[in-house]
Structure 1
Amino acid sequence: MYMHTYVKFLTRKSVCKVCGMQLSGNHSTNLKRHLHVKHGEIIREFDTEEENKSKVIKKKKITYETSEESILNSIIKIVTTDGKPFMFLDSEGFKEIVDPIYNALGMNPITSRNIMSLVVEREESIKNDIRALVQGKLLSLKIDVATRMDKAILGVNLQMIMSNISKTEIIVKTLGMIQLTYTHTGDYIKEKILEIIEEYGITVDQIFSVTSDNGRNMVKTVKILNDDMEEPFFEDDTEAENWMGKLDEVSLANIHLVRCAAHTLQLCVYDVNKLNKISQQIDICRKLCKTLRTETMSRILIEHNKNIPSLDVVTSWNSTYLMLKQLIELKEFLATKCCINTDIEWDWVETYVEAFKDAYDATIKLQEKHLVYSEFFIIWTELKLQCQNSKNFLKQKLLAQIELRESKLLENTALLSAIYMDPRVNRSLTDYQKYLATQNLKKIAFRLFELKHERRSIKSPSSAYLDDVETVPESIEEPISDKLVKIYFEVDNFDKMYSRLPLNADILQFFSDVKLKSPQLSDLAHVVLATPATQVSVERAFSALHYILSERQSSISSHNLNSLLFVKLNSE
């Protein structure tokens, strides 16, 4: 207060420095009253300053247990799982949080400059675990190619069934997500796949199946992996033709080419949708959805608490189904709006949604992460029966497409083998299909024995002895034919040895029980049942690109992108 006044000692008066007014005496009460009345802003400023001074930041001392490894894991998750740019680690706010932790643990700070070296170390650790996992095993792969921000990425996943005393489960691992720099020919993709699997010590002889879409480059890849040939499989890689037909001309040797089940079902529906009258009706619905998504109509829908219908992607029939389903929900509302002129045949739309509801539900089931191969056949058969029992004319058209493709599906001995080894459905096979399945299963059994003895040949005598104790006592000197007699007999008589199981039975648990009696038969079943029915895990892996390959990290190097994706996908 005295900052704004001074005192004339001779006259015993105080003078305001702001306005010059003289006040009697040198009393703080007079001074304060004057400032309140004449200069309120000064008092308010003074009160604010005093209040701020009185505010003391109260800090709490907290204690929690952590470790350098735990902090390292969390930081790696930030740049992989969360997809944060490296510069986030250099931000002031982040450093204020973690610097005290670094100091307490005696750690070197983790910054944008050293984070990749830590990610690469984690990548190598995960790869070592996978190398141990796949040694001497028959494996199934899933492959696909996707593009984001002008970068083409090849994804390769491994799928297998692992069994121990406590549990039996399907294991899915990402072997590689690598950027492609040349035209996606079958030869080039084959070269990149070999580079990926060789890093884990996996040989072509260990690959039982490859699941992919029906693209010509993927078909050719499996062909040349089988034959190890470099001559062109297709006369003209740019020729537009029906590659579904080409897929059936592939002569399979050791590696089984498996059609993605979800993609196959999508093609069934797609062929129905492209019929002239059906495609015309869908186009009319699509135009209405575009109208409803304009700014004016969107505002009207929002005002009436109505959902704005989605617009479908022509190549994805699921989105078409959902678009029409959402339109039906707006039927009554649109009938009250004379400003919206529609040529919609609502009865047709309702017939369409009813016809493809079961197919949509089947697609959702096929997208489950861990699906044994024979369960695809169960889902497929259930959909077929639903179509057969329906009088819906669109469902009958779908049934025709299902039956057309089913004949092709059941020519695949990998699928026949999985069905045969599943007591829930193996009674549905014909005698000839069972014959094809058993012949293929015997070939697989022979390959398993070859891999097993090849693995033993590089082991120490003690580790080989332990393997014998864990399975069935065998002598390496015995002829292979003698060792296969038992498994061949079990394969031939499998459908007679085990009674039918209900459809809701746990097939993995069933073979866990079988393993106690016949470990070789259980291992054989694990190979064919682990065949991936879909590419779902690869497609989900591609979604991770949106987290890591963003606008803020569009210039990330190919090597760093591969490492970040690999650690992210194998840490989930």
Structure 2
Amino acid sequence: MTTCVRCAVHTFQLSVYDTLKERSISGILSKARKAAKSLRTQTYSAWLKKEGFKQAILDIETRWNSTYNMLNRLLELRKFCSVNAKKLLNDHDWDSIHNLVNDLEPAKTATIQMQKNDLNPGDCFGIWLNTQMKLKKLNTPLSKKLLININNRKDSIFHNPVFESALYLDLRYQHLMSEESKSRAVVHLIKTWELLNRLKNRFPTSTVETEDNSNSHDKIIDNNTDDEFQVYLNSLSNSQEFPESSSSTTTT
């Protein structure tokens, strides 16, 4: 009963960090940071302001979201650089930055969505699957690597009796669970119910306030109405999204 669920967004971000450590990516990131630093100097900063452009962003290397923002802002400044700062980045560099932003966009979107306050485990699972679908669709070397890293870390979240119990009660995704996962969920739910009854008998006057989240699913991305995502979910119905894993009882 004391099993904890790992933070989904933190685990997701670790997957992105793993990907950005690749040597093929670190090189262009180094060039992008150098360009951003140059564009943030007093001379270029004043020039950008005069021309009506936004200021360059310098990332914090330990926060990959800021890296995405830095790269995306550089793309917005490409027109300025092509005229006034050609030496900062060449055409190949710009293409690499464009590809990086394009491949990281699904992860960026997922990170923002998973930081909402009213998410339940099923919502997080849906966001995770939606991101997986988008990365598969991109089918680039970077998106493939990111997908591998995401899948390598997902067991630490999904193979957990607390999470499995929540998903078992979520009819949107229950059909994706393996029989073993369902069994663990049922056992955990029974133990939880028994514990609640014991507490109720011990403290008969206690009341538990519950928050009405009946409309919370409407605030999530279009997972539940997006036809492409529904097709993807149907394709997973016959596969084991919850294969047996040694991490099924991992705790923190």
| CA drift at 1:342 | 2.7
Alpha-carbon distance in structure 2 between the residues aligned to 1:279 and 1:451: 54
1:282 is aligned, of 16, 29, 38, to 29
Alpha-carbon distance in structure 2 between the residues aligned to 1:388 and 1:407: 19
| CA drift at 1:426 | 0.6
| CA drift at 1:410 | 2.2
Q: Which runs of 5+ in 1 are unaligned?
A: 1-253, 468-501, 506-572
Asked if 1:342 corresponds to 2:110, the answer is no
Asked if 1:442 corresponds to 2:190, the answer is yes
Asked if 1:396 corresponds to 2:144, the answer is yes
Pairwise mapping of residues 7-22 of structure 1 onto structure 2 (< 5 A)? none
| CA drift at 1:407 | 2.6
Q: Is the 8 A contact 1:355 1:395 kept in 2?
A: yes
Q: What corresponds to 1:34 in structure 2?
A: none
**Change in 2 beyond 3 A, CA 1:357/1:275:** same
Superposed CA offset, 1:11-50 (max 9, x none): xxxxxxxxxxxxxxxxxxxxxxxxxxxxxxxxxxxxxxxx
* Root mean square deviation, CA, Å: 1.9
**Change in 2 beyond 3 A, CA 1:448/1:259:** same
Identity percentage of aligned residues: 33
SS at match of 1:255: coil
| CA drift at 1:349 | 0.7
Amino acid at match of 1:262: V
| CA drift at 1:338 | 4.9
Q: What corresponds to 1:384 in structure 2?
A: 132
Alpha-carbon distance in structure 1 between the residues aligned to 2:88 and 2:123: 46
Q: What corresponds to 1:513 in structure 2?
A: none
Superposed CA offset, 1:461-513 (max 9, x none): xx9xxx9xxxxxxxxxxxxxxxxxxxxxxxxxxxxxxxxxx9639xxxxxxxx
Asked if 1:433 corresponds to 2:153, the answer is no
Q: Is the 8 A contact 1:359 1:383 kept in 2?
A: yes
2:110 is aligned, of 362, 365, 368, to 362
Q: What corresponds to 2:53 in structure 1?
A: 306
Q: What corresponds to 1:407 in structure 2?
A: 155
SS at match of 2:144: helix
SS at match of 1:386: helix
Amino acid at match of 2:128: W
Superposed CA offset, 1:56-112 (max 9, x none): xxxxxxxxxxxxxxxxxxxxxxxxxxxxxxxxxxxxxxxxxxxxxxxxxxxxxxxxx
Pairwise mapping of residues 39-118 of structure 1 onto structure 2 (< 5 A)? none
| TM norm structure 1 | 0.35
| CA drift at 1:340 | 4.3
| Larger RCO of the pair (alpha carbons < 8 Å, separation 6+) | 2
Alpha-carbon distance in structure 2 between the residues aligned to 1:317 and 1:397: 16
SS at match of 2:52: coil
Q: Is the 8 A contact 1:289 1:311 kept in 2?
A: yes
Where do 4+ consecutive residues of structure 1 move more than 2 Å? 338-344, 407-410, 502-505
Q: Is the 8 A contact 1:256 1:414 kept in 2?
A: yes
**Change in 2 beyond 3 A, CA 1:442/1:314:** same
1:504 is aligned, of 193, 215, 224, to 224
Amino acid at match of 2:185: A
Amino acid at match of 2:190: K
Alpha-carbon distance in structure 2 between the residues aligned to 1:323 and 1:503: 28
SS at match of 2:4: strand
Q: Is the 8 A contact 1:424 1:503 kept in 2?
A: no
Q: What corresponds to 2:13 in structure 1?
A: 266
Q: Which runs of 5+ in 2 are unaligned?
A: 208-221, 226-252
More helix by share: 2
**Change in 2 beyond 3 A, CA 1:339/1:384:** closer
| TM norm structure 2 | 0.78
Asked if 1:294 corresponds to 2:14, the answer is no
Q: Is the 8 A contact 1:312 1:320 kept in 2?
A: yes
Alpha-carbon distance in structure 2 between the residues aligned to 1:278 and 1:319: 16
Amino acid at match of 1:351: N
Alpha-carbon distance in structure 1 between the residues aligned to 2:57 and 2:94: 18
| CA drift at 1:374 | 1.5
Amino acid at match of 1:341: L
Amino acid at match of 2:5: V
How many corresponding residue pairs? 210
Which structure has the bigger radius of gyration? 1
